[in-house]
Chain A
Amino acid sequence: MVKSVTNLSRSGLSDWLWQRVSAVIIAAYAVFIVGVLLANPDMDYASWQALFQTTWVQIFSFLAVLAIVGHAWIGLWTVATDYMKPLAVRFIFLAILGVTLFTYLIVAGRAIWGA
């Protein structure tokens, strides 16, 4: 058993499962958004805003954001532990990544539920 404190879930199996589940969520959301845009070529701001006022679109959108944040952390954590051997370099990279993803989460939440 190799010990690790910086991966998402402490368990390799959970990380692996969440990476796959989040990939499916992101793919489904991408298909949804592209589908909406293709089905409504004359989409204006009012109808776009109305779409995002519906509860299930808000839930789906935030779920997709959560999936991207988790997926990005697992993937980039893996890249960092492969290629960044000096601990300080890796720690700084992961700290910047963490702050970026957290910011992304807050900004996305505000965009979805804000005024």
Chain B
Amino acid sequence: MTALTVSIYRYNPETDKKPYMQDIEVDVPEGKDLMVLDVLHLAKEKDPALTYRRSCREGVCGSDGMNISGKNGLACITPLSEAKKGNKLVLRPLPGLPVVRDLVVDMSLFYKQYEKIKPYLQNDTPAPAIERLQSPEDRAKLDGLYECILCACCSTSCPSFWWNPDKFVGPAGLLQAWRFLADSRDTATAERLADLDDPFSVFRCRGIMNCVNVCPKGLNPTRAIGHIRSMLLTQSA
């Protein structure tokens, strides 16, 4: 067993005037690499009031997005060996969203932006008897887009989203906007583009690629945003 200091952001709006960092000492077993989520469980054994979201514990549900030693990521698939600095692990909630309690943030603004891009297939042609077919080539265009789990690691690492979370769609929403623009079965392309052609929704992206840097699924929202820009340009040139 080796001792590890876990410094955790604590805030209970019912009792605390303001947030503070709490150091919790945990014993980490030697000879195996724990995930950050396992370390959080150890810390919760010391202080059962510690609050965080988690569910699938294998990087599929996107519940445990948090700021791990300065970088957003999923606690369940981030190895302690990569996350700790020296003998210390620093855990904070996702930046830029209101904190509900400890590591739990209010994701309403994030979901509102997702809702704005109409994340569902729109097709006004009569539905075929069985299903709308797609060629393997057209299907391949959705690779790298549909895998998003909406953990919010990207959007909450984006300064443009921090300053204008009510106006800028953010990398997660824009990745999905492109997912439906690129879909051969979707016929609402013109309406989708018209909704994005303002100075905030897409164009507040300054291309700093924080989103690409943190995405736990290895996706590339900056590239998707580039595709949306090109599509806007070719449709209106």
Contact = CB atoms under 8 A, between A and B. Distances in A.
B55 interface: no
A87 interface: no
A91 to B, nearest CB: 17
Given A82-B164, A83-B163, A16 B203 contact: yes
A7 B199 contact: yes
Nearest to B233: A13
A4 B198 contact: yes
A12 B163 contact: no
A53 interface: no
A34 interface: no
Contacts of B201: 1-2, 12
Interface string B191-211: 000111111111110000000
B232 interface: yes
Interface string A1-21: 111100100011101110000
A40 interface: no
A13 B202 CA distance: 9
**Secondary structure class of chain A's binding surface, majority of residues:** helix
B225 to A, nearest CB: 11
Nearest to A11: B197
Contacts of A13: 197, 203, 229, 232-233, 236
B199 A4 contact: yes
Contacts of B223: none
Instruction: Give the most central of B160, B196, B199, B232: most A CB within 10 Å.
Output: B199
Contacts of B198: 1-4, 11-12
Contacts of A1: 194-198, 201
A81 interface: yes
A4 B195 CA distance: 13
Given A81-B164, A82-B163, A2 B233 contact: no
B42 to A, nearest CB: 40
A62 B97 CA distance: 46
B167 interface: yes
A16 B229 contact: yes
Contacts of A15: 199, 203
A12 B199 contact: yes
Contact of A17 (B163, B200, B233): B233
Contacts of A11: 197-199
16 contacts: A1-B197, A2-B201, A4-B198, A4-B200, A12-B196, A12-B198, A12-B199, A12-B201, A13-B197, A13-B232, A17-B233, A78-B199, A81-B164, A82-B160, A82-B164, A83-B163
Closest 4 CB pairs of A and B: A12-B203, A12-B199, A2-B200, A82-B163
